[in-house]
Structure 1
Amino acid sequence: MRFPILACSALILGIAATPFAMAQTARTPAKSPPVGGEVRYFTGLGDILGDLPVDAFIREIHDGGKITSTVLDVCYSASMGSEHKDRFAVELKADGQKLSGTGQTTEEKLPVTVSLTRKPENRAITFQGKITIGDKTSEVTSTDNTDSDQREFEAAQNTDDSITANPADFTELSPQSLALRVKRENFADLLKSLRNDDVELSLDSLATDCAALRSGTQLVRFDVDPQRAGALLARLKTAPGVVAAGWTTGSYDTERAVRVPAADWRKDGKIDRDHLASALAASASKILKAQAASTKWSDTTGELTITMKRPNTLVPSLNLTDTLEVSALVGPEKPGNTDRLVIWLGVPTTTTRDETSGPHLNFADSAAGDETENTYTDDDGLVQGIAADLKGQRWDAEQAAWK
């Protein structure tokens, strides 16, 4: 359920919270179209900065048959393969078919000069000319451009942050996964403050993407122990520069979850982790026909890792060992203390090693070089078996209810 990394791509498609900004900086409010004006967008501009990955569009305001305003908005990578982005939004003045304007990039403060010609050709528009950023000039030839209206453009740019401040429950969201939208000028200070909160940051959310450059805000995601999530979120909502805060999606699937009565697994008002870990390890070991080796809770994310071992049967005489790991996240069914807990189960993984005494075999095709690892595939029986052993319920996706 984690969000994948949002990055500006060479698909020339603006991903923007406020994509119609009319100014040179991403934080300047957009100008309202004139009364009676119609806004049109061109998004398929091609490789307008050579080989650099670019996310760009042209925004026009039409009043009757006349174009009253044109803005070229370009977000681009500083170099091939670079995660560093820069952006400019230049208002172009018209002289017949010629469009020209100057401006400055928001990050590197490089001077920008744009000189284009807008030519209607076969019910489409061709843009030709030059764009100079700093001391580098790029030739522009973009043909067969058709426009879209405001509704179509916004639908294409829509990015769902999935930040929910007050979720009814955690069937779609994760009790450990939080997200904040922060003003860019406060972003670094907020990250520094999280050093004191023992959280696990999503590294991809640290990159400044085109949406951040255009909106002036940045999204940060992180996981934290569900038992601390509510209090931490309440504090961060009031932190400088935070404009939105809440829970978001995570890495576990509700279809691999078991709902159990909370009273059976609580002690002194908190989850009895020792009792629950012991029960989950015993159930998983029985179902997977393995021997429990260890259980460990993460103080950072609140996840439980269950480790089990069993003989590998590929070549029985070698006495190889399979080590199985199953992760689990335990949290409330909904924010706050509730009468139900949900146990989200990860997909088991299996690692094969030679643990015999003396010289041993090493296996290829693995990151470590001395073990093989694969994902356990036929494990619906694990979720079903744990639900039965813990007298819990499973999620029925068709009925959208616990059964």
Structure 2
Amino acid sequence: MRRCAAMAAVVVGAALTLTACGGSSSSPGDCDTDRGTLTVGLVAPLSGDLANIGAGMRNGADLAVREANEQCAIPGYRLALDARDDRADPATGAAAARDLVANPDLIGVVGTYNSSTAQAVQPVLGEAGVVQVSPGNTNTSLTRGANPVTAPLRQYQTYFRVVATDAVQGPLAANFLAAGGRSRVAVVSDGNTYGEGIANEFVKQFQTRGGQVVLRQTLPAAAPASARDATVAAVRAARPQAVFYGGEYPAGGPLAEALGGDAGPVMGGDGMVNPGYAAAGGREGDLGTSVGAPPETLPGARAFVDAYRAAGYREGYGEYGAFSFDAANVVLSAAGSVITGRGGGEWSTDQRPAVTQAVQSSDADGVTGSISFDRFGDVGSDSVTVYRLVSGRWIPERTQP
């Protein structure tokens, strides 16, 4: 079998890919894999209300691993994806992370989607020295601590993300509503890490713009219908021109349906911009923000979209498939550079800190944009898109910057 001398991350068609042996690719059967299998882990919601999001994440990471195998990306090794279901539950996510780190051939983890789950997974992976690259977490505190402005503190050097934070999404939503002439807004959030974080960021910016938050209320996603009815009555009594919802679409859709448009459009963040929102009760004209630009609008993502479709996945890539593809490639590129840079090219768990350092030094073009990280582990690109619900579909309206 052929043994490749080196591996490097290169840009092909403006997308971050991994290639070996001077850029040539081959079938998996042509690669030397006599040193065994290296594993990329994934922790995502693969069941429950958010399963369609997790499926896109899993498939995006799987595509990156497939392509890496086709290119003999890490000489001497076969690459595999070990996808674990966190059910959008922090305790389940932590258990999944513990199972993954027990594998000495684990080179890194892609995930999570939910910020609350990330808070439980971060310490598990951090203690084991396993690098984590999230394609979906947006809560600011995950990288900058509880006081991101006055006293930013990075707790976990192993944690990175390839998406913009709520410190970008929340203010953008506030600016959008204010620019549209809406000066009175009610804010409802679900009490979870993500929902509270993006709602707080929205409130700060909306008030900076001179807007009035006429109601600020918490409605847990699992609250009974009677609690939702009480919140709806309170919102209507406050007479806002719009409602900002901090939470995810399975609870946001029913809230919008119950309001019936009486309080103006409902707007949310990336947790709302999901195909399931309309079916859950979302109304025509509702608004949302989501990280990045739609992949199909990016020239550099065309190869990813075509490859994803050709792979025959049953589920669409959704909002996070392309980010997962980039996150997996960041892990693969970093691990490959460390392994091939060591004498003999043998993997061992004592190389995990070096993989983390290699991720920190990433500088490449991904399908979602430029991939590099600041000292907190946040990606340099902070692109966010505003969407409007039209005929049951989220239609991109504006991408910034």
Same fold (TM over 0.5): no
TM-score, normalised by the number of residues in structure 2: 0.23
Please identify which structure carries the higher strand content.
1
Q: Which has the higher contact order (CA 8 A, sep 6+)?
A: 2
Larger Rg: 1
TM-score, normalised by the number of residues in structure 1: 0.23
